Structure 1
Amino acid sequence: MGKKRKHSETTHDEAQPQKEDVTPERPARTLLGWKDKNEVTNEVEDNSPIFRNREKVLVTCSRRINYRYRHLMLNVVSLLPHCKKENKVESKETKGATLNELVELKNCSSCLFFECRKQKDLYLWIAKCPNGPSVKFLVSAVHTMEELKLTGNQLKGSRPILTFSANFEKDAHWKLLKEMLLQIFETPKDLRRTKPFHDHVFVFSIVDDHIWFRNYQISVPHNESDKLPRGGLDKMSMIEVGPRFCLNPIKIFGGSFGGPTLYENPFYVSPNQIRTLDKRKKAGKFAKKVKAKTRRKMHEMSNPLEPDEFADM
């Protein structure tokens, strides 16, 4: 059995200070490597405050949407690496409050809502949540990637180059639409799911007061060593990838999915009015035929033919 330690020895050992091994704090991780905190504070003090684009877009659609319009929505989701897809939302009068709540839950700042009516008409809502503004478009001339079967092939997650026609600087409402499209379709800088290079172009052009969207791949010729030759940028070509669609602006609201009307398109004609006019044209053709038959009968009754004396032979 071992001897007990004396009281004096235990107090002496406890009195001695123990050396603590303190590990240095790991610096912050960046894209270029590890960075010390002192360097970061010096950079922030020297330069102006750093702007970080934290734009995230919520993409969703209404119930009872057509399959072509659903494929168009999925094409837009594949083009935007900074978007979040949500389940279908019921298209009612209270859809604005529901969508604003979903945007807040998903930690997004914008929303693209594809609303389908009568399984024929597609409307696109572009809104900045929760304070607005928001725009309602009528989508027409829809062609998805699967329908076009084009030869262009872009890398998923790459950053697009946005180009706008000179017509966007003409009026105030076109300037507002340009800024909203720029904020929504532009990819944030330090996003985790993006690639650090550009290989396709988003083209927004105004023709006949409609916004036409095209997506092109940037094709650069390469030599045998798979490097860009000198002067090769002059031989670049654009190959369309898709999808295609046309946006007809209906109204611009001051709030998110509603509010005061800032702009209303005076040349907008709803699809229901177009269908009723077509029905009236078809009904007018049938009425003309009926009137022609009655006139022919009245003419035959008023002008009877003389009996033919050779009818019995």
Structure 2
Amino acid sequence: MGKRKATPVANEAELQQSNAGERKAAKQPKLATEASGFKNKEKVLLLSSRGITHRSRHLMLDLAQLLPHCKRDSKLDTKTDRGIINEVADMKGCSSVLFFESRKRKDLYIWLARAPDGPSIKFHCANVHTMAELKLSGNHLKGSRPVLSFDASFDQQPHLQLMKEMFTQSFATPRRHPKSKPFHDHVISFHFLDNRIWLRNYQA
């Protein structure tokens, strides 16, 4: 009967150490990708009521192009309870809401709210100029991140400070968002004048 040769213990220890080293090397790229991944999950729900005019609809479409992190939904009936907006925002994973409400097909009101517990702000929209009406419009990339510019008045009064924070959370595209481009080629400005807030988009 032939005798079996025993495998050296030293070789087994070397194999185990090499396997452990390969596992550590394989885990390192995963940790690097996790550190540089997309973390800010801020999303904005964009929807409107029934009966909005074509100008209001074009304004909403322009905002959808400026906000790559927004989620659109179908129109709501004017008689529907407003509490259902929180349910829609919860289903789509949105933390902010931009709701376009039309009354008598003339007046347009824009609700900006944090879902589901608020706060909420109601604006009466006036002096609307859509992108289709402008001449010499820029050609910024779709999905590029904007630079937000605020007037100095937003730091002087408490309610304007709250508006500034809500505007920042809603209009600032999160960094490394899957639908965004890593470029800054347009500026969204907010100015407070004559008890009104003027919103403008400047393109490169």
TM-score tier (shorter): 0.7 to 0.9
* TM-score (normalised: structure 2): 0.82
Is 1:127 aligned to residue 113 of structure 2? Answer: yes
Find the residue that maps to 2:146 and give its secondary structure: strand
Task: Provide, for residues 104-123 of structure 1, a one-character-per-residue CA deviation record: whole Å limited to 9, x for no partner.
Answer: 01111110000000000000
Is 1:100 aligned to residue 86 of structure 2? Answer: yes
Distance 2:33 2:55 in 1: 50
Find the residue that maps to 1:101 and give its secondary structure: helix
Aligned to 2:99: 113
Aligned to 1:287: none
Distance 1:158 1:150 in 2: 19
The change in CA–CA distance for 1:213 and 1:40 in structure 2 (over 3 A counts) is closer
Aligned to 1:78: 65
Is 1:191 aligned to residue 177 of structure 2? Answer: yes
What is the one-letter code of the residue matched to 2:106? K
Task: Provide, for residues 117-144 of structure 1, a one-character-per-residue CA deviation record: whole Å limited to 9, x for no partner.
Answer: 0000000000100111000000000010
Distance 1:183 1:151 in 2: 26
Asked if 1 retains the 8 angstrom alpha-carbon contact of 2:111 and 2:121, the reply is: yes
Is 1:68 aligned to residue 68 of structure 2? Answer: no
Task: Provide, for residues 247-300 of structure 1, a one-character-per-residue CA deviation record: whole Å limited to 9, x for no partner.
Answer: xxxxxxxxxxxxxxxxxxxxxxxxxxxxxxxxxxxxxxxxxxxxxxxxxxxxxx
Aligned to 2:188: 202
How many percent of aligned residue pairs carry the same amino acid? Answer: 50
Structure 1: gaps of 5 or more residues: 1-21, 29-33, 44-49, 219-313
Aligned to 1:176: 162
Aligned to 1:149: 135
Task: Provide, for residues 26-51 of structure 1, a one-character-per-residue CA deviation record: whole Å limited to 9, x for no partner.
Answer: 957xxxxx7244x789x8xxxxxx99
Q: How far apart are 1:92 and its partner, in Å?
A: 3.1
What is the one-letter code of the residue matched to 1:175? Q
Distance 2:95 2:194 in 1: 31
Considering Cα pairs closer than 8 Å and 6+ residues apart, tell me whether 1 or 2 has the greater RCO: 2
Runs of 4+ in structure 1 deviating by more than 4 angstroms, as ranges, are 22-28
Q: How far apart are 1:90 and its partner, in Å?
A: 1.3
Aligned to 1:167: 153
Aligned to 1:272: none
1:35 to 12, 29, 43: 29
* TM-score (normalised: structure 1): 0.55
Q: How far apart are 1:91 and its partner, in Å?
A: 2.3
Structure 2: gaps of 5 or more residues: 1-18
Asked if 1 retains the 8 angstrom alpha-carbon contact of 2:47 and 2:73, the reply is: yes
Aligned to 1:46: none
Q: How far apart are 1:214 and its partner, in Å?
A: 0.8
> Would you say how many aligned residue pairs link Structure 1 and Structure 2?
183
Q: How far apart are 1:169 and its partner, in Å?
A: 1.0
Asked if 1 retains the 8 angstrom alpha-carbon contact of 2:38 and 2:175, the reply is: no
Task: Provide, for residues 26-83 of structure 1, a one-character-per-residue CA deviation record: whole Å limited to 9, x for no partner.
Answer: 957xxxxx7244x789x8xxxxxx9932100000000011111001000000110000
Distance 2:74 2:91 in 1: 13
The change in CA–CA distance for 1:51 and 1:158 in structure 2 (over 3 A counts) is closer
Find the residue that maps to 2:169 and give its secondary structure: helix
